[in-house]
Amino acid sequence: MPARCLPSTHGGVLGAQLLGQQIVLAERMTPNKITHSLQTVFMRPGDCRQPVWIDVERLAHGRSIDSLALTFRQDSLQICRADVMLRSPEPDFLRLRSTESDFLGPQHASPLDRPMMPWEVRVLPRADTHQLDQWQRIPEAPEDRSLWRAFIAHSCELLPLSDLLAVTGLTPTKRLAVAVLSQNVTFYDDLDVRDWHLFRVRTLHAGHGRAIGRVEVFGPDGELRAGSELVGLLRGSAI
């Protein structure tokens, strides 16, 4: 099946777009189940001027679990592959909630315009050089929970590498290659992107041409709703 591409400044297919499409497609194909987690590997940038074709393989199908492998390609060249695990609603056998209370609310944050995030974004003062606390909400988001999860994954892809570059004063150029190589996203609980959510972004490591970033997404009540870990390419050129 074909999928459209958003335009990009670098000419490649946007990773944030692909993550969102993975979630929406997987949930459309498995009625009554929602995404629990996805693991995506990005092989090549592709061309945003061309459509992307998606091959679907069902890995598991059961009463409470589904698992799909989604391969995104242009012609015979693979752009990315995602393994998506989905779950059906179940009563809690055991309930353990992670909460956070050491951050200020959105009323204490400063508005910020971010490329590729055309909604309300506010940033708190930094508690640490390599930690970003960003509040965001999408008041006009449609009543579609699949899209809500897609928006969360979209933001988790955009933030870690861009924040690392910002705090270190680097800019992607011909002398600096920057790309997302892989990303995992897990949804712990229900969420509504029309409410404020805090994205806590940390750079865990940078070295050997790689950067590792983590994103924790908290609801307005301080409860952890989603999380993500990203491996990025960060390599200087000899030219």
pLDDT in tens, 92-107: 888 888 888 788 999 9
The whole-number pLDDT of residue 172 equals 63
Strand partners, 36: none
Neighbours of 65 (CB within 10 A): 14
Question: What is d(CA 236, CA 239) in angstroms, rounded to the nearest whole number?
Answer: 9
Can you give the residue ranges of every domain in the chain? 1-88, 104-239
Residue 21 amino acid letter: Q
The whole-number pLDDT of residue 93 equals 81
Mean pLDDT (whole number) for 71-88: 95
Residue predicted with more confidence, 6 or 152? 152
Q: Half-sphere exposure of 198 toward its Cβ, with a 13 Å CA cutoff?
A: 24
Q: Are 165 and 158 in contact (CB under 8 A)?
A: no
Share of the chain above pLDDT 90, in %: 70
- Cβ within 8 Å of residue 149, ≥6 positions away: 23, 27, 34, 35, 187, 191, 226
Interval 37-65: pLDDT, tens: 999 999 999 888 888 999 999 998 888 99
Interval 124-168: pLDDT, tens: 999 899 999 999 999 999 999 999 999 999 999 999 999 999 998
Mean pLDDT (whole number) for 62-81: 93
Share of the chain above pLDDT 70, in %: 97
The whole-number pLDDT of residue 57 equals 95
The whole-number pLDDT of residue 229 equals 98
The whole-number pLDDT of residue 161 equals 94
Beta strands in 21-159 (DSSP E): 34-42, 52-61, 65-74, 77-87, 110-111, 120-123, 131-137
pTM: 0.92
The whole-number pLDDT of residue 238 equals 46
| Lowest mean pLDDT segment, chosen from 94-98, 205-209, 229-233 | 94-98
The whole-number pLDDT of residue 239 equals 38
Torsion region of 116: left, alpha or beta (phi above 0 gives left; psi -120 to 50 gives alpha): left
The whole-number pLDDT of residue 92 equals 83
In CATH terms, 1-88 corresponds, of 1.10.3210.10, 3.90.180.10, 2.30.31.10, 3.10.129.10, to 3.10.129.10
- Mean of all residue pLDDT scores within the chain: 91
Residue 108 amino acid letter: H
Helix (H) or strand (E) segment spanning residue 236: strand 224-236
Q: How confident is the model at residue 118 (pLDDT cuts 50, 70, 90)?
A: very high
Judge whether 1-88 and 104-239 match in fold. Answer: yes
Specify the CATH architecture of the domain 104-239. Roll (3.10)
SS3 labels along 167-228 = HHCCCCECCEEEEEEEEEEEECCCCCCCCCEEEEEEEEEEECCEEEEEEEEECCCCEEEEEE
Question: What is d(CA 145, CA 139) in angstroms, rounded to the nearest whole number?
Answer: 14
Token couple for 128: 């640490």
Q: Which long-range contacts (CB under 8 A, 24 or more apart) does 14-17 make?
A: 14/48, 14/116, 15/40, 15/42, 15/80, 15/157, 15/180, 15/183, 16/116, 16/153, 16/154, 16/155, 16/157, 16/158, 17/154
